[in-house]
Amino acid sequence: MITGFVLLDVDVDRVPEVAEELTELAGVTEVYSVTGRYDLIVKVKVAHNEDLADVVTARIGKVPGIRGSETVIAFRTYSEQALDAGFALGQDPRD
């Protein structure tokens, strides 16, 4: 399985609509709104590199409101449980 992350620059007034539209695309597993250089990060999981190219260029790239993108491919996945614990650092456990 190939996992890619597509970092998107989106028109500020279209972020929620773009995110919703992206969640409906085959191959897209998660969409996050984020702070920093990019507006959205899209997690894509596909069987082959060619499938990733199709999702990024033929599907994601056609969504109105996207101004630019950068795609990175994951080499290795570490335990999601360990990653979740890392992201929880500093959070109040009562939340």
Q: Containing domain of residue 54, as a range?
A: 2-87
Q: Kindly report, residue by residue over 67-77, the tens digit of the pLDDT.
A: 999 999 999 88
Task: Record the tokens describing residue 36, joined without a space.
Answer: 């920093």
pLDDT value at position 81?
64
The full DSSP string for 57-77 is IIIGGGSTTEEEEEEEE-S--
Cα(73)–Cα(27) distance, integer angstroms:
14
Position 95 in a domain: no
Is residue 89's pLDDT more than 90? no
Is residue 94's pLDDT more than 60? no
Position 94 in a domain: no
Cα(38)–Cα(58) distance, integer angstroms:
21
Token look-up 């650092």 returns 89
Give every CB contact of residue 12 below 8 A, 6+ residues apart in sequence. Answer: 39
pLDDT value at position 90?
61
**Domain at 61, CATH number:** 3.30.70.920
Q: How many domains does the chain have?
A: 1
pLDDT (average), residues 31-49: 97
